Homo-oligomer: A and B are copies of this chain.
Amino acid sequence: MLDTPRFTEVTPTADIRVARHGNRAKCLQRLIRMDLPVPQTVALPFDAVRDIAAGRMPDLATLLALFDDGAPVLLSVRSSSQTPDWGGPGAVLNVGMTAAVRDALAATMGGEAADRLFVRFVRDYATDVMRLDGAAFDGADPEAALAAYEAEMDEPFPEDPARQLREVLRSMARAWEGTSARLLRQAQGAPADAGLGLVVQRMAQGMAPGQSGAGVIQFVDPETGAPQVTGRYMAGAMGREALGAETSLYLTHDLRGPSLEDRLPEVFGELVEIGARCRVRLREEMQVEFTLEQGRLHVLDAVRCPRGPRAAVAIATALARDGVIPRSEAITRIPPGTLSQLLHRQVAPGAARDVLARGIAASPGAAAGRIVFDSAAAQASQSRDERCILVRRETAPEDVRGMHAADGILTERGGTTSHAAVIARGLGLPCVTGAEIVVDHKAREVRLPGGGTLREGDEITIDGTAGTVLAGRVATVEPAMDGAFADLMGWADAVRDIGVRVNADTPADASLARGFGVDGIGLCRTEHMFFEEDRLTVMREMIFADRDADRVAALDRLLPMQRADFAELFRLMEGLPVCIRLLDPPLHEFLPGTTEGMRALAEALGQPLARVRARIEAMGEFNPMLGMRGVRLGIAVPGIYEMQARAIFEAVAQTGGVVPEIMIPLVTARREVELVRARIDAVAAEVRAETGAAFDYRLGVMVETPRAALRAGEIAEQAAFLSFGTNDLTQMTYGLSRDDAGRFMSAYVNQGVYPEDPFQTLDIDGVGELLLLGAQRGRATRGDVTLALCGEHGGDPEAIAFCRLAGFDYVSCSPFRVPVAKLAAAQATLLAQEANARAK
């Protein structure tokens, strides 16, 4: 077997690979190839470091000989993991420092500086390598530092550079194997066998006399990504010291104090020129670590410039606009999920966070305000122009008014797809559900897990991105949808080959989504249209109708309201498809849950409260999710779907410009579709005859039961489209209610029972197979059947890539997920094109 080299000097032609030596080693080679003044560097590959941890040291004499130029040599050792995010032990500088080296340095940089450098190395070696307490070395002179070391270690400080290097390498190699380091990098996605490379570099001495010092420079603002030289420089310093020091210089001319640009304009110019070269040659905005040694510039390292999501978009689009990278690469560089942070107000990155409770991150963004416990209080707050957070045990249709008035929602119960979460995402409101709090509506207080209590009027901040409840009013930053964002979206639209529609129930949703540039409405849930107060009353009268005539009368009153809803949607979405789901939830969801609400209903109906209560109780179900809802309701009370179909057709007869799609929910068998289809076709014929309008429509099925997926072949005979509702499909495939899963889902994911929460990330193995089966069978029966995914997973990048592969026509997601979905769709398309190109 061929021996792999135990270390390699990094030269333009050396065989340095990211997968063997790590990212830093490779990056240094690239800098060297650009002829940048990089000090001499040797790279140790992963397997060598693994051997070091196991006690097998490479030949250090040979390694040190590479650096031997007759003078004393000082070295830095830095980690080089495969991906910067996976971390690695901190750098150790000035390895090789001995009393003899100190004396030699004293001759060039003066005794005081040499002593400082010496003591500093002894301290670093003692603490970072030998794991001693650093306090004994603070402010010590060389003798005292050596004495402290010997007292602690029972042996003198090693004077042998090879011994020092060996201990440094061993210490760093072992630190990589430690449990906490392992867990941290695995949390960042590192595999269990991720390796560590090490880079040994000749020190450029920023503590040398004359024009010496060290600094860090980057050329864009880390928050906005706008061109802006950023960083600090400090004379007589080394490494990244300049960043934390008060005495360090600004880099570019600055009113706040002296700058490198003013003091050493040539060096500054050289750095700017290096930055520009790096940007083009490395195709990235880099952060450059540099040292000035007696007037001579050394580039020690360069890393991908750290950035927030907004800066990431700005940098990638700028690189593409400048022709440095193609647009397709700008698209693939942005993790789609980070976009949603641009669309919502967020907790300011630097703000102090006093976490009162944790919960489920149900709708992104942050909001601060006073606690209110009901809709009336939320509306009162709004009328006073006061920000408020609506806190409920759980929300119900009656709370929707309050949710409109509130700035954020916090609930004790529910998960990512509970009523509160779905409505909040639709409204773009931050929402935390399933929080570890106890909401006592009677006492109007919230009990916290720590034992504290919050009362109505107390100020809190909820962070729906992180799923936390914070004490007081925490600073937030505004959303940022700038030109770069618009460019990125435009490019993604040009690339993607799967449609992105929006789940939009209201004109507000529809307008918002048109602003994001959608391909239509993929899911308009009509139930939300009945939750406004005047309609809710009529709806309740319809439900309580004892005689058919009363029911028809109530439906007749609902008809013009529904028609107006649809007409407005159709006008807003002109030219685009609008898919309307017929009424889905169990009727009892429209009934009041409180005595107060029941009394109001009893008054409206002129019936005794006891009778109203009894009927509401009689309508209760053991498992409403699996009960009398969806198409079952449509078959049991045909008047509802007929009214809705008439409203749709009359609206389209009025407005034109849209081919409405009518979707039947909760289907399990073909015959259900046949029955509903016959009635809807009849209504269409009536409306055509009455209005004289010629309009088309498409009728399809929401596939959300496992049976509908399995029987998609015969169902497609009756359906122009199959839209997979993965919320319910996931619930039924797992036998797991999303509303009840919150209690144990995080424990389940933490124990690795499920790799991910299947309500957040599409379960490809289980639910995904049903999607595939359904898609194949549907297409086998009807080659042109439209396939879609609607539901929360419509905004999940993995689900989008999966749907694209399965030949779906579009995905549909909540308005604020549309940009995420479009970017993810474009990335999936590019990835597939790339794979195809490789395969050819």
Contact = CB atoms under 8 A, between A and B. Distances in A.
Interface of A: 438, 618, 621-628, 632, 635-636, 666, 668-669, 671-672, 675, 704-707, 710-711, 728, 731-737, 739-741, 743-744, 747-748, 751-754, 763, 765-767, 769-770
B732 A765 contact: no
Nearest to A728: B735
A734 B753 CA distance: 25
A636 B744 contact: yes
B770 A636 contact: no
Nearest to A766: B707
A262 B323 CA distance: 119
B704 A747 contact: no
B623 A625 contact: yes
Contacts of A666: 735
Chain A contact residues: over half helix, strand or loop, or mixed? helix
Contacts of A752: 671
A737 B675 contact: no
Given A706-B766, A710-B766, A734-B705, A740 B622 contact: yes
Contacts of A669: 753-754
Given A622-B740, A628-B740, A733 B707 contact: yes
Given A622-B739, A636-B744, A707-B735, 10 more contacts: A622-B740, A623-B624, A623-B626, A626-B734, A626-B735, A669-B753, A671-B754, A705-B735, A706-B732, A710-B769
A622 B622 contact: no
A94 to B, nearest CB: 48
- Most chain B CB within 10 A, of A632, A671, A754, is at A632
19 contacts: A438-B618, A621-B737, A621-B740, A622-B625, A622-B737, A627-B736, A627-B740, A627-B741, A628-B740, A636-B747, A666-B735, A669-B754, A704-B735, A706-B706, A707-B734, A707-B763, A707-B767, A710-B766, A711-B766
A626 B675 contact: no
Contacts of A734: 626, 668, 705, 707
A422 to B, nearest CB: 14
> 8 nearest interchain CB pairs?
A626-B737, A623-B737, A627-B740, A707-B766, A705-B735, A706-B706, A622-B739, A623-B623
A716 to B, nearest CB: 15
A635 B753 contact: yes
A14 to B, nearest CB: 44
Contacts of A766: 668, 706-707, 710-711
Contacts of A672: 753
A740 B623 contact: yes
A704 B763 CA distance: 18
Contacts of A635: 744, 747-748, 751, 753
A751 B740 CA distance: 34
B628 A743 contact: yes
Nearest to A586: B740
Contacts of A705: 733-736
B668 A744 contact: no
A592 B432 CA distance: 31
A739 B627 CA distance: 9
A325 to B, nearest CB: 41
A703 to B, nearest CB: 11
Contacts of A632: 744, 748
Contacts of A740: 621-624, 626-628
B626 A731 contact: yes
A766 B671 CA distance: 14
Contacts of A621: 737, 739-740
A623 B626 CA distance: 8
Given A731-B626, A740-B627, A671 B753 contact: yes
A625 B739 CA distance: 12
A668 B668 CA distance: 22
A767 B668 CA distance: 11
A675 B732 contact: no
B624 A675 contact: no
Contacts of A624: 622-623, 740
Nearest to A745: B632
A414 to B, nearest CB: 8
A728 B668 CA distance: 16
A415 to B, nearest CB: 10
Contacts of A704: 735
A711 B763 CA distance: 12
A739 B706 CA distance: 19
A770 B705 CA distance: 13
B628 A626 contact: no
Nearest to A394: B622
A704 B734 CA distance: 9
A626 B625 CA distance: 9
A636 B626 CA distance: 25
B735 A770 contact: no
Contacts of A732: 706, 732-733, 735
A748 B628 CA distance: 12
A626 B671 contact: no
A583 to B, nearest CB: 16
Contact of A668 (B735, B737, B743, B751): B735
Contacts of A747: 635-636
A187 B752 CA distance: 53
A627 B415 CA distance: 12
Contacts of A627: 736-737, 740-741
B623 A710 contact: no
Contacts of A438: 618
A735 B707 CA distance: 8
A543 to B, nearest CB: 14
A769 B774 CA distance: 13
Contacts of A767: 707
A739 B636 contact: no
A412 to B, nearest CB: 9
A593 to B, nearest CB: 12
A711 B769 CA distance: 10
A765 B669 CA distance: 10
A620 to B, nearest CB: 9
A707 B628 CA distance: 24
A705 B767 CA distance: 12
A675 B752 CA distance: 10
Contacts of A711: 765-766
A492 to B, nearest CB: 33
A621 B751 CA distance: 23
A629 to B, nearest CB: 9
A395 to B, nearest CB: 12
Among A621, A666, A675, A732: residue with most chain B CB under 10 A: A732
Nearest to A440: B614
A549 to B, nearest CB: 21
A743 B626 CA distance: 12
Contacts of A770: 706, 710
A731 B733 CA distance: 10
